[in-house]
Structure 1
């Protein structure tokens, strides 16, 4: 793991520098809980002739973004077995993965010490590989948590031998719940004026650093990232902006006054720590966050994940200002043999010609910025947008933003252990598109980015240095 690297891009130098991943990120990826020794405790198993047993630690339940230790005991020594993991999403869609292992001389299998052999969903020493390598049974499906109050149920089977198709003799079974809301976190539906969303508050009296979380073109109200953030001391507002209740049904135009209402709601909330709040946006949510930081008061820190500095997909209005969407040329769309589209080149360059009108005036922003970039993002050229944002900020005497580039990471950089989605339906394109990424590198990026995001917000939103450090 020491050879794994992430890229820290220095926009002022115009070059990328390789540095080692933090030890904490490596430990997380490999399923080791920092600061405590995992216990090997059985949760659930079925007994066959070998009386094998599956053990999970933590026992029974864990947060989805936490590492999970998996082991099996009571197996025949020195034999090869297949571990098959599965879970169903909230719509009943089935996701599965499998890996081949060799049992040690004592009849035990510990995924933190035993590398997976060739022939499965992954190979090598990957204690969390059975989670991040999950794949849908049907193509173009992405694992999304729609109901955060009900955990995913991860099921594990130990199969005798290996092969294709998978062997049918089951030696043991186990199950474990992967949840999203820690005990004591409060979930509050928000219907304040025009604002539609869900606020998650950590346990205690607060006040807590506040964050507004905005997703991309899928619409609706995804809550899972905001509620996971609340587990680590943040008051997180998952904000809907179209395709939800009485909000606009499509992406024709948006008014920044709506988002201003959401900011004011957070700033006035007695459990939200002032004087400013943070913004977290992915994809289209990223340029909305940059627009908010550029025009609205009370924004202290902004994080975008594979976003742009140009307004995209819909016209944006604020008072007497109108920003048109960045133009696109569908002739630059590429199709592969499976009928999946690669759209990375279809957007016009916002630095040229009339498309300059779509640029968001980020130089007006007063807060700090962190740009998370997947180097293999095939939705658009995220690194180009991040670099240009940095150039514009520095050219106007503003603080140089942080830019973290992850080689091998695609567009959907999610919280840790969500499986990479290589391709799925794009609402605006109307067909499946490639999102990019290589599964193992993408998994590494998600673990590290999750830590970087929390550290950035704690640094800029907490009153005292080191207050409310992440439990990751």
Structure 2
């Protein structure tokens, strides 16, 4: 499974430990245009350096990025630049003058990848299915002139291929089918033991592995845990029983590669309130990261032993259809304070909690929900929390390899739903929060 990843190391390929700005990124000579990317092979959550040389002084050019997915979908992005008086272009210093973003945004081409014009809109760019054996290939091209949207690009001056890996050599991928639990376990290279983390996503269902795989590169034994819509799990959202998540926590905690005394959990959207319930009711959970979550149980009732949390509901009459056809759901979730039996009793949690929210979240008001949770903790004399709040960020805050999505097709409604956020501010929030999430988990699981 790791053959290709190992082979480029043996060939002397530049890996994630080779930082941008190394000698291989130095500009070429005047003459034929060249395009360089350093490192050319890197982990998907790491920055790269893009430079061009051999251009005419102040020459106008367009940079394009293209990705063809496993399902043959094309994603692309572009930005317009002007070379300096030496005919050089450094994307980390030069501002984009047009295209999919403006200003100095070193990773802008990667952050603004979206479905190409011939593809169905509002789709999310996801990595290849074989995370540990194959990279995502990004084709970069340098064109003459400033290409406007919908126009044929100018002459190609130079090309470069970039490989974005989700796993470095030595990461182990284990598909789990133990008792009632399903999912994928990713183990870092080495003997360990490692801090253990359960990874939960939202109501899209199925198994989402890329974040857990990236966490394994950062020293965590990460368990991507689906809870519906996968194999023999329920295919739709039904009442949940926390015993399923407790079984997963016990499995990870007992694993010989996992260090104690407890484990962590990271959850997004619906997965975030499950992460809060886990740290509240399951003693082995010592750290919980709640991304764009709610302080109450959402979407379906939750049971655990003799405990029952009802769910806050979504009022479809409050969903707004925008002129573009995109649905705005931001005002549709009922106020948790009107259903006290749905609110998670976080004061019972003995571990530490990190709330990560975007202040322009259009799925629901995750900042308000985090503030309500903190208010409850403070009322009970608790200070076991941190809050990361990002202006201009929307709902889907993921690792920095994930491009911004204005709206996504909802699997239940069948229509695009507004996510919120401004593209570049949202992506900077992803970059910043990803580092701080890792720091939080390492701190409280060591």
TM over 0.5: yes
Q: 1:37 to 1:428 in 2, by over 3 A?
A: closer
Residue 275 of structure 1: SS of its match in structure 2? coil
Return the alpha-carbon distance in structure 2 between the equivalents of residues 362 and 303 of structure 1.
Answer: 13
Match of 1:226, SS state, is helix
How far does the alpha carbon of each residue in 1:48-99 deviate from its partner, in whole angstroms, 9 at most, with x for none?
A: x96322111113x101110011111222232111111111233222111111
Report the Cα distance in structure 2 between the residues aligned to 1:379 and 1:188, rounded to whole angstroms: 33
* Corresponding position of 1:159: 143
Whether contact under 8 Å (1:97, 1:130) holds in the other structure is yes
Of the three residues 337, 360, 364, the one matched with 1:380 is 364
**Structure 1 residue 121, shift from structure 2 partner:** 1.0
Q: TM-score of the superposition, structure 1-length normalised?
A: 0.86
1:123 aligned onto 2:102: yes
Contact 1:301–1:367 under 8 Å retained in 2: yes
Query: Unaligned regions of 5+ residues in structure 2, if any?
Result: 1-15
CA–CA distance in structure 2, aligned partners of residues 437 and 460 of structure 1? 30
Counterpart in the other structure of 1:132: 111
Among 132, 141, 145, the alignment partner of 2:123 is 141
CA deviation vs aligned residue, 1:171-208 (integer Å, no higher than 9, x gap): 11111111100111111111111111111111111111
The question of 1:168 aligning with 2:154 is answered yes
Aligned residue in 2 for 1:52: 33
1:458 lines up with 2:427 in the alignment: no
Q: Distance in 2 between matches of 1:262 and 1:187?
A: 17
How far residue 122 of structure 1 moved from its aligned partner, in angstroms, is 1.2
Residue in structure 2 matched with residue 328 of structure 1 by the alignment: 314
The separation in 1 between residues aligned to 2:393 and 2:61, in whole angstroms, is 31
Equivalent residue in structure 2 for 1:306, among 276, 287, 292 = 292
Count residues in correspondence.
Answer: 422
8 Å Cα contact 2:147/2:154 also seen in 1? no
Deviation at 1:167, TM superposition (A): 2.9
3-state SS of the aligned residue for 2:372?
helix
Partners of 1:151 and 1:52 lie apart in 2 by 27
- The equivalent of 1:467 in structure 2 is none
What SS does the corresponding residue of 1:130 show, helix, strand or coil? helix
Say which of 41, 45, 66 aligns to 2:24.
Answer: 41
CA offset at residue 398 of structure 1? Answer: 2.3
CA distance in 2, matches of 1:85, 1:36: 21
2:20, 2:47 within 8 Å by CA — same for their partners in 1? Answer: no
Q: Report the CA distance between 1:209 and its aligned residue.
A: 0.8
Q: CA contact under 8 A between 2:80 and 2:147: conserved in structure 1?
A: no
Inter-partner Cα distance in structure 2 for 1:176 and 1:66: 12
Secondary structure at 1:351's aligned position in 2? helix
Runs (5+) with no aligned partner, structure 1: 1-32, 463-472
Matches within 5 A, 1:434-453: 434-453=418-437
Deviation at 1:318, TM superposition (A): 1.3
Offset from partner CA, 1:408-460 (integer Å, 9 cap, x none): 00000111142111101122333211000101110110111001101111111
Using the alignment, how far apart are the partners of 2:432 and 2:440 within structure 1?
12
Distance 1:34 1:157 in 2: 25
Aligned equivalents of 2:210, 2:160: Cα separation in 1: 25
For the Cα contact (< 8 Å) 1:81–1:159, is it kept in 2? Answer: yes
Match of 1:291 in 2: 277
Q: SS of the counterpart of 2:99?
A: coil
**1:327 aligns to what SS in structure 2?**
coil
Give the 5 Å matches for 1:2-401: 38-41=21-24, 51-59=32-40, 61-117=41-97, 119-137=98-116, 138-147=120-129, 148-149=131-132, 150-164=134-148, 165-352=151-338, 355-401=339-385
Q: Aligned equivalents of 2:25 and 2:34: distance in 1?
A: 7
Hey, what's the Cα distance between the residues in 1 that align with 2:23 and 2:393?
32
Distance 1:302 1:62 in 2: 29
**Following the alignment from structure 1 to structure 2, what is the Cα–Cα distance between the partners of residues 42 and 373?**
36
CA-CA distance at 1:310 after TM superposition: 1.1
For 1:34 and 1:382, locate their aligned partners in 2 and report how far apart those are by CA, in whole Å: 36
Whole-Å separation in 2 of the counterparts to 1:153 and 1:263: 35
Corresponding residue of 1:469: none
